[in-house]
Amino acid sequence: MLMRFARWRACCLAVTVILTVLAGCSKKEAAKSDTQAKPEVKAEPAKADAAENDAEIQAKVEAKLAEADELDGTIDKIVQRCASCALGMDGKSEHALEVSGYTLYFCSGPCKEGFAKDPTKSILDLEIPED
C-alpha cells in the first residue's frame, strides 16, 4: 500500500511540474505578444517628444551662438573669439569649425578638438561674458 501511495505521489508531482511549465510558457508567450503590441502604440508619441526636445535644444544652441556672434560688434554668423577659452581670447581662421550655420574660430587645434567632441554640450555650457 505504501508503494502505491509513493507512485501516486510521484505521478501527481510529475503532472504538477508539467502543468507549471506549460502555464509558464503560455504566460511568456502572452507577455511577449503584449509587449510587441504596446511599443507600436507608444512609438509615435516618443518620436514626437524626441523631435520636440531636439528642436528645443537646437533653438537654445542657436540663441547661444547668436549671443557669441554679437561679441565682436558685427552679426555675421562668425564667432571670432575662442569658445573653448570662454570667449576670452581671439580665435584664428585656420582653427575654424562650422556649427549650426555659424563659423567658430578657436585659438588652437586642441581647443577646436576639445570643443568638437560634443559641440552641442559645449555651446549649451558656454558662459557668454558681458562686455
- Tell me: the pLDDT tens digits for 25-43? 555 555 555 555 545 545 4
Query: Residue 129: which of 40, 64, 47 has the closest Cα?
Result: 64
57: left (phi over 0), alpha (psi -120 to 50) or beta: alpha
Beta bridge partners of 97: 104
- Say if CB 126 and CB 83 are below 8 A apart: yes
Q: What is the DSSP string of the chain?
A: -HHHHHHHHHHHHHHHHHHHHHHHHHHHHHHHHHHHHHHHHHHHHHHHHHHHHHHHHHHHHHHHHHHHHHTTS--SSEE-B-TTTTT-SB-EEEEEEEETTEEEEESSHHHHHHHHTSHHHHHHHPPPP--
- Say if CB 79 and CB 102 are below 8 A apart: yes
Percent of the chain with pLDDT over 70: 64
What pLDDT was estimated at residue 30? 52
- Tell me: the pLDDT tens digits for 71-125? 888 899 999 999 999 999 999 999 999 999 999 999 999 999 999 999 999 999 9
Q: pTM above 0.95? A: no
What pLDDT was estimated at residue 103? 95
